[in-house]
Each structure stands twice: as structure tokens, then as C-alpha cells.
Amino acid sequence: MPQPDDGSLPPGDVAALLADARERTLLLISSVPEDELMNQHDRLMSPLVWDMGHIAHFEELWLVRNLEGPVRFGEMPGMFNPFENPRSVRGELALPRLADTLRHLAGARRMVLDRVVEGGTGTADPRLLEGGYVYRMVAQHEYQHNETILQALQLKDEDGARYRAPRAIVPPAGRPVRADAEGMVRFPGGTVQIGTDDRTAAYDNERPRHAVELAPFRIGAAPVTNGEYAGFIQDGGYGARTLWSDAGWKHREEANLCAPQFWEMRGGEWWTRSMDEEAPVDPARPVCHVCWYEAEAFCRWAGARLPTEQEWEAAASWDPSAGTKRDYPWGDEPPTPLDANLDQLAFATAQVGAYPRNVSPVGAYGMIGDVWEWTASDFLPWPGYQTFPYPEYSELFFGPDYKVLRGGSWATRPGAIRNTFRNWDYPIRRQIFSGFRIARDD
């Protein structure tokens, strides 16, 4: 079997990487009837068969056609081009049936593996193969669609026919988290390194690594919990105009916000739903399914603010005593099931403190996993940013319309998260698995 001599991944590693992504995709949809895969259950999300077809075409574009010459993301077939067909219209498309989509997924994969095994690793842009970047990019793309598939399935609530989640993990019970009297930890400030120069897995918006000067600040020792958020509700937070920005108040009124999405009052007690499981709200778990405006209002109520994304990354990754940066809060080792509530199979958040290793150098717990954490920052390029390999991933979204989220959620695959990973969405979005933590000037 030919071995690459260009710094790429060995063929066996490529096959294992891509197989891991595909196995999870097929597991997540395995209990969903075909008609439900074809239907669009909410205009915020795609029909699931669209996601599957898009995954197949993305892989074919970057791992088959790209070997024959330069490609552009815009060459994605129209039906599966997200810019030509935004989510709101995908339910109206003449989508292929499930069997045809599965054949396309399998066929594209066979072509990829045949070429890899045969040593067909030439590409119009050699940078794509450095460290196996293009293979990791394709795997991460599928991982990210795994999470959007779960967002769609969480929204599905038709006639009680909810998604039957293949739960395989029960997270440990929570433990106390060390914090000051206000539930916070201190970052001493100074010059820190933000971003990364990694070119084996990191996306272009994570690069380059650069120095930032930060003033001292304090940040929540843990994400805001359901219990803390319930206190905001009980104190009239949703009706207190002074806690909301103009845009936030307008959205609160238009959307009739009164609690996190999927919360429901039953007999004087808050209940919530995660996929097919309903239970009383656990006060020890991070609050989930809140939008940026709700997070902003809570912070004002608490006499705090949202952290900037530079503060968030510094608190997650920077060791002030050593002057070094970590890939993950606990170190540079990739996540395992003992490190953080990731990888989907718990299908819910875990209680704060359940993963004792998931603590950053300054003592912030849970900055990877459980919930994506809203930050105060708009999604903008880092100084020295260069688009690679296509502008449609990052460049087209830069600007004030999107707010940055960090840290991943329980629905995030381990291969698609790190301290430098940047997610973004509109500030009104709640179907994402989103929470937040507070910050204060020191």
C-alpha cells in the first residue's frame, strides 16, 4: 500500500477518520422514519435528507473532484448549495429519496478510499494535504452536520412522535466547583496568545496566533446553571425593560420569550425536554437553549456582562504562571469520555462539576462541552486572517450580524472542538445548544 510522503495522513488513518464520522451520521438517523427524514420540521433547520446529501456532495467535491483540478465551494450542486438554497426553502426542494441518498454517500466514500489507497493524493493546492488537513476538514464538516441534525431532531415535536435518542452514556453526578464568593475565578490579565497557527485541523477563522493585551477580569467558574437562571425568571427578568437592550426587548416581545426554549411550567414547577426525555429542570445543569439577548439580560440582572471571546479563550487556554497556551482546558490531549460532556451520546447536559479534569489553568470549569457559550463579540477575522480553502466557510459571515459562541456542547463531536474553535450565529437563535457564563471587570 503506498504511503504518502507529503505530510498527509496514512491511508488507514484517512479511512478510520472518515468512517468515524459516517458511523455517527447513520446512527443518529437510524431510528427516524424515511418520511420524517424528508420533511422539514422547522424552517430554521433543513430536512435531514438534505443534510445527508450535502455531506455526500461536500466530500465528493473536496476529496474526489479536487484531485482532478481546482474546485470552488460554489460548484456544489444547486440543490445542495446552502447559499443558493437557504434553510427556509429546503423543504420545498425535490430532494432524492433516502435510498438514493445513501447510495450517493456510499459511492462518494468508495471513490475517496480507492484513490487514497492507490496513492491518488495529488491536489491542485498542496496545502490541502499538509498534515491531512483536507481529510480532517471533510470529517469536521460531517461532525458539524451531526450537530445540526440533532438541532433539527430536538425541534421535532409532532403529535408526540419525538426522536428516539440512542442514549449510551449517563454522565457522572456533579461535584462542587472551586470559586470565589460570587462564583467566579480571576484572570490576571497581561499579554496572552489568541488563535492558532495549526494547519492540520483548525479552520481559517482560528488563525493566525497573535498576541492580545487583556486587562484583569473575572469569569464565571462554571456556566450559568438552570437554578441561577430560574432566579432571573422568578425575579421578573423577562419583564424588566431596563435589563434588555433595545434590540433584545424588541425580540423578546416579538418572540414572546418568557423562559429558555423547551421549558414548560407544570404544576408550579419548570420542566424541560431533551429529545424524547422530559424531566423537571435540574438546577445543577447549565442552562441551555437561550439566545444572546437572554444571556445579555441575565448578565445585567446579575451585575455582570458577557465575556469577550478573547477573554473566554484566555480563561480556557492560557496558563498565566507558565506563560503557555493549552489546546484544551485540561492540557493538549484530545478529549476522552472522561474529560468533558461531548460526543452526543448522553443527549443532554451534565451537572456542573461532573468532569473534574475539565478545568482550565485559572480554574474555570466546563469550558469545553455541555453548552456553547455566547460571548460579547461579533464574528470578525483575527489580525492577519487569510481565507483558506474557501471563502464560504468564514469570510462571508464576518460582520456585526453574528455573535461568537465558544466551547462546544454535549452535541459536539470531539474532533470538532478545541479552545480556539469559533462558532457563530444570529443573536436571536435558541435552537442551538447554547448557554453562557458571566464576566466582570476586576
- The count of residues in the chain is 442
For residues 248 and 257, what is the distance between their CA atoms, to the nearest angstrom?
Answer: 10
pLDDT in tens, 332-345: 999 999 999 999 99
Alpha helices in 83-124 (DSSP H): 98-117
Q: How many CA atoms lie within 13 A of 341 on its CB side?
A: 28
For residues 46 and 44, what is the distance between their CA atoms, to the nearest angstrom?
Answer: 7
Respond yes or no on whether the N-terminal peptide bond of residue 208 is cis (omega within 30° of 0). yes
| pTM for the structure as a whole | 0.96
Confidence of residue 3 (pLDDT cuts 50, 70, 90): very low
Contact 90, 41 (CB under 8 A): no
Three-state secondary-structure class, residue 413: coil
pLDDT in tens, 312-329: 999 999 999 999 999 999
pLDDT in tens, 211-229: 999 999 999 999 999 999 9
Beta-bridged to residue 425, according to DSSP, are 403
Domains, the chain, ranges and CATH? 11-155 (1.20.120.450), 165-442 (3.90.1580.10)
**What are the cell numbers at 318?**
492560557
**What are the cell numbers at 304?**
455582570
- Residue 29's H or E segment, with its range, is helix 11-29
Q: 202: which residues sit within 8 A by CB, 6+ positions away? A: 196, 418, 420, 421
Three-state secondary-structure class, residue 217: strand
